[in-house]
Amino acid sequence: MKKTLLSLFFALLIASTTLAGSRSTFQGVRAMGMGNASVAAVDDAASMLSNPAGLDLYMEHMHLTLNFAGYVSPSILDLSSFVANHSDELTNTEGLKSLDNKFYDDLYNIDGKWSTVGLLPNVGFMARTYGLTYGAYYYWDIPTRVMLESGVLVPKIFIGTQMDQVLTGSVARRFNRNISLGVNVKWIDRYVIDDIALGYTQTMEFIERFEKDKLNALDPLLSHQYGPGADAGAIFHFGQLRAGVSVMDLFSYVGSEVMTPRLNLGMAYKLLALMEYNLIDDATLTTDLHDVFKRANFFTKLNIGAEVRMTALDVRLGLNQGYPTFGTTLHWLLFHFDYLYYGEEKGLYPGDKPLLYHLVQVGADIKF
């Protein structure tokens, strides 16, 4: 039974994927390192994920980026250690009768904390012809979350899945030299296991089904959803200051769910004094207000960030929904190596349902 519980735990980490909300929150590794404050700031292919008008900031002729990322939360080791050390107590009634202080001390350290691990391959393309910038972005977000929560007598296990494949096509153009406009069309393909809480009896029944046939145990919980969507955005240029606005998920639906449009506002300021130094190619301060009309705490909408770009190294800092973010990129020939520490709030206020993780990405940039 101990072996079965361990195999169930790790299979869930591989086979189940989840996010608390119904939207994928991937905005590109660069933007996320800047606290997700990207509505008026980011000028790479991933800019279309937060504001399609951002494509107009791109000045090269043609660019293809290929990336593969993986991420893991700091709490994943604590959770796996707890399952390994206490599976005997959790899988038989005699063990449940003899739960000791060490069990509850270990449970307290992970109680109510989501643990996540996942993969995120992504590909972007953009080109510029006669002042018109167009591009496409594809990503496959495969996150996994598992949580243990103390119950009345024994812990409950929370599992769920939301695996998103998103393909976005975008076009942007500048008008009157100081206004950039852009639009997206996209297709979302999603596999979902709605968040479920398993008590002791349910967990044992699930383990029994899982032991007999792993795929059949998971299959009844899965639902396949898909649908189209559209986004629109604008960026206003005032010298070293830019202001941006985007409306995401216009006329969008996934399965039977019609997605509520989100209004995002942002500003970016170029630090020209820093850019006078030979080592610094670009420096930006930026701030966003996301999903302005969402009924939630103000700080879950606020995003603040900064980026310094050098010849071979980029460094980013930010604050996303009250959680610090940090990102760095090392450039070498055609390749780049990214690291990201990221935090986001899945609840209504900072500290309600935090999701924290480290992300590492390897990629290649091909310019024509």
- What letters, b where the CB count within 10 A reaches 16 and e where it falls short, cover 3-18? eebeebbeebbebbbb
Residue 212 has pLDDT above 70, yes or no: no
C-beta of residue 334 within 8 angstroms of C-beta of residue 364:
yes
User: What's the mean pLDDT when you consider all of the chain?
Assistant: 81
Query: Residues 100-132: pLDDT tens digits?
Result: 667 666 777 667 677 788 899 999 999 998 889
DSSP letter assigned to residue 46: G
Question: Could you tell me the CA-to-CA distances from 366 to 56, 124, 125 in Å, in that order?
Answer: 19, 11, 10
**Among residues 30, 85, 54, which one has the least CA distance to residue 331?**
30
Average pLDDT of span 37-54: 91
Coil, strand, or helix at residue 129? strand
Pair 67, 362: CB distance under 8 Å: yes
* Cα 239 from Cα 245, distance rounded (Å): 17
Element (H, E) at 353: none
Query: For the chain, which domains are there?
Result: 2-367 (2.40.160)
Q: Does the pLDDT value for residue 253 go beyond 50? A: yes
**Taking residues 288-298, what's their average pLDDT?**
86
| Mean pLDDT (whole number) for 52-73 | 90
- Tell me, what's the pLDDT at 368? 80
In this structure, which amino acid lies at residue 294?
Answer: K
Residue-level pLDDT at 1: 46
Tell me how far apart the alpha carbons of residues 5 and 87 are, in angstroms, rounded to a whole number. Answer: 7
pTM here is 0.82
